Structure 1
Amino acid sequence: MSVKIIAEAGVNHNGSLACAKELIEAAANAGADIVKFQSFRAKDLALPSAPKAKYQQKFTDKNESQMEMLKKLELDEVSHLELIEHCKKYEIEFLSSPFDIESINLLLDMGLKTIKVPSGELTNAPYLMKIGASGCKVLLSTGMSTLEEIELALGVLAFNYLKYTVPLSLEAFSSAFRDPMAANALGKYVTLLHCTSEYPASYEDLNLLAIDLMREHFELPV
């Protein structure tokens, strides 16, 4: 299996399209294969009253809310299109993590064939149902999750891949995961990503042996 390097641009553009393009150029010049951004609508992620996390307060305006900060970091449809074209110019693949259904639709409408699922959406069944029904490749982040939660997320995806028609339920998702056909279906679409949801993560918290554990447990690329 070949190795692909993903450069994490995230929201480090700080809402500046020019800066986002510079991040693409830097990633391409560094030899990365893919550059990844984030797609979201602040209104779908935070309440107006939601405070910032401590690390966010340390590096951004303490007087603004979580929603106000996120709003500044949104990329609209036109910006997405410009960044995709800029990636083509520099021969690097554009990738993004959608954080809501609307953003999934946006990326699919723009022709993306791979979706990166953020760790926080691993337990979001309606979100995973939408992605599973799309037929796109999936990079499934697993930060802060248990093996049981990962298994259930894979069950939601398998439910779609195998075209189950029974009513939605936890039992149905578990059955889909255990279906003899699930391994082939999941192997065709899904790659698991071991993630440490700590920024920056200390060496003692990386737990890289979890990569081998997940590979053996789920028999999927990790």
Structure 2
Amino acid sequence: MINEILKQKASAIKLLLTDCDGVLTDAGVYYDEHGESLKKFNMRDGMGAERLRKFAGVNVGIITGERSPSVVKRAEKLQITELHLGIKDKPAIFKEITERLGLEPHEIAYIGDDYNDIEIMQLAGLTACPADALPYVKVYADFICEAKGGEGCFREFAELIIDAKNNLKVKDGTITLNNGRVIGKGHPCYIIAEIGINHNGSLETAKKLIDEAVAAKADAVKFQKRTPEICVPKDQWELMRDTPWGRITYIDYKRKTEFGIAEYAAIDQYCKKLGIDWFVSAWDAPSVDFMERFDTVIYKLASASLTDFELIQRILETGKPLMLSTGMSTMKEIEDTMAYIDEFDPNYPLFIAHATSAYPCPPQELNLKMIQTLEAKYAGIPIGYSGHETGLATTVAAVAMGATFVERHFTLDRAMWGSDHAASVEPQGFQRMVRDIRDVEIAAGDGVKKVYESEIGPMKRLRVNISPEYKEKPVI
């Protein structure tokens, strides 16, 4: 844990400057067959630069005495334009940057590892060095990374700054989304209309579903994003299937139900216009990369993906809140996934949804008391419910039992062709469900016993002994 002084310094940072050799690289010297020096960079550091921009509003610059083309290529890859090569006087460059960008020294951080970094470290507002920096350099560092140069030290420093500036933190069982919406205890249940693939590959149908979700007063709509070539087992590719597009292979069917950039760009614009949140269940790492071009509020991890740690890692690297669904899982599998996330970041913004992965799910297998079990086991994390039953009462009951968010599959018509329609809720049903959830929330009250004004009349007509404070109280 970082101390408060370090947090205050980090929260003020607007630009992170870094040395190259010994920080972004391991300071090794490599040559190709033409004798050109090459650099070995760490991909996690690259993600750190991306996350700094996206989640902390902090840009990155490189100041190095080297002139290697490898550094230029790396800067291009990371979209770093504040690039200074062959620099002998680093303090002079620091001062030029502050004046040109209109920054104060305390708004700039620097990470270096060698003696020629000391002077610039004396000017910067926040400083760091890798674990294998020269001993005298460590004296001038506010933060000494656990990682060595070229082994993720830049990412470690970047995450420190992100943590200090980032508002997406779990606090008292709530999470604040990037649009200011709060989900968790003490707040209205966040209601998600799971469109999934019920659009059947039609953008027009997707927009109709969004319209109906807005009419029902849902808080969000959710889709599913897959790379069919990854998610469909190879031995199932050529299986034939009767579909609305005729008799085609299973892989072609899956391709036809996937939306691409044009459709999701239209969905993004449409949801923003109508004022409803949207996000997806990402089923593979490339789908996460695809979705990162959109500013969605959450990532959902489907129950089937709870043990897919490669996918989980990629989602965690985005920094967006993660909603885990726990159907078809043992308690040990849930614990293993939670431990994996905790190792990445113990304060990662996380939701857990109880679910049973049967479509449709019979009432005797819903096991709604698991909501309270998860709430007790993972205190401080918002717990919700992802339902696949046919009725509505049990989802309303889940809210009464403590679910801070609920998700139900949503369709225009349960008789439509497709695998999820039969276990989905139609528009009128969804409207009733939202209405009943809001009624339950209002009816829950505050738990403090009181006599309401509406009870005074019956009290005076029916009660033999009336308490003194109510004898003179007028009947309304």
Decide: shared fold, TM above 0.5.
yes
Query: Which SS does the other structure have where 1:194 is aligned?
Result: strand
Partner of 2:112: none
Quickly say closer, same or farther: Cα 1:146–1:102, change in 2 above 3 A: same
Aligned-pair identity (%) = 30
Q: Is 1:221–2:382 an aligned residue pair?
A: yes
State whether residues 122 and 141 of structure 1, in contact with CA within 8 Å, keep that contact through their aligned partners in structure 2: yes
Partner of 2:195: 9
Residue by residue, what CA displacement relative to the aligned partner does 1:1-50 show, whole Å, maximum 9, x if unpaired? Answer: 32111001010000001101111111011100000001111111113531
Structure 1 length-normalised TM: 0.81
* 1:214 Cα offset (Å): 1.2
CA distance, structure 2, for counterparts of residue 81 and residue 62 of structure 1: 28
Q: Is 1:76–2:260 an aligned residue pair?
A: yes
Q: Is 1:35–2:221 an aligned residue pair?
A: yes
Q: Is 1:146–2:330 an aligned residue pair?
A: yes
State whether residues 279 and 297 of structure 2, in contact with CA within 8 Å, keep that contact through their aligned partners in structure 1: no
1:71-220 superposed matches below 5 A: 71-161=255-345, 182=346, 185-186=347-348, 189-219=349-379, 220=381
CA distance, structure 2, for counterparts of residue 47 and residue 66 of structure 1: 10
CA distance, structure 2, for counterparts of residue 59 and residue 209 of structure 1: 39
Query: Which SS does the other structure have where 2:335 is aligned?
Result: helix
Partner of 1:44: 230
State whether residues 122 and 150 of structure 1, in contact with CA within 8 Å, keep that contact through their aligned partners in structure 2: yes
State whether residues 87 and 94 of structure 1, in contact with CA within 8 Å, keep that contact through their aligned partners in structure 2: yes
Partner of 2:146: none
Quickly say closer, same or farther: Cα 1:212–1:60, change in 2 above 3 A: farther
Larger radius of gyration: 2
Letter in 2 for 1:46: V
State whether residues 137 and 190 of structure 1, in contact with CA within 8 Å, keep that contact through their aligned partners in structure 2: yes
CA distance, structure 2, for counterparts of residue 203 and residue 61 of structure 1: 35
State whether residues 277 and 296 of structure 2, in contact with CA within 8 Å, keep that contact through their aligned partners in structure 1: no
Residue by residue, what CA displacement relative to the aligned partner does 1:91-127 show, whole Å, maximum 9, x if unpaired? Answer: 1101111111111112222122310111111101111
Query: Which SS does the other structure have where 2:200 is aligned?
Result: coil
CA distance, structure 2, for counterparts of residue 158 and residue 191 of structure 1: 13
State whether residues 48 and 66 of structure 1, in contact with CA within 8 Å, keep that contact through their aligned partners in structure 2: no
State whether residues 132 and 158 of structure 1, in contact with CA within 8 Å, keep that contact through their aligned partners in structure 2: no
Query: Which SS does the other structure have where 1:109 is aligned?
Result: coil
Return the structure number with greater relative CO, CA threshold 8 A, min gap 6.
Answer: 1
State whether residues 17 and 79 of structure 1, in contact with CA within 8 Å, keep that contact through their aligned partners in structure 2: yes
* 1:159 Cα offset (Å): 2.1
* 1:59 Cα offset (Å): 8.3
State whether residues 98 and 117 of structure 1, in contact with CA within 8 Å, keep that contact through their aligned partners in structure 2: yes
| Residue from 13, 18, 26 that aligns with 2:212 | 26
Residue by residue, what CA displacement relative to the aligned partner does 1:132-173 show, whole Å, maximum 9, x if unpaired? Answer: 122110111111111111111112222222xxxxxxxxxxxx
* 1:67 Cα offset (Å): 1.9
CA distance, structure 2, for counterparts of residue 62 and residue 211 of structure 1: 43
State whether residues 132 and 156 of structure 1, in contact with CA within 8 Å, keep that contact through their aligned partners in structure 2: no
State whether residues 222 and 278 of structure 2, in contact with CA within 8 Å, keep that contact through their aligned partners in structure 1: yes
Gaps of 5+ in 1: 162-181
CA distance, structure 1, for counterparts of residue 258 and residue 197 of structure 2: 8
Question: Which of the pair is proportionally richer in helix?
Answer: 1
RMSD of aligned C-alpha atoms? Answer: 2.2
State whether residues 281 and 299 of structure 2, in contact with CA within 8 Å, keep that contact through their aligned partners in structure 1: yes
Quickly say closer, same or farther: Cα 1:72–1:59, change in 2 above 3 A: closer
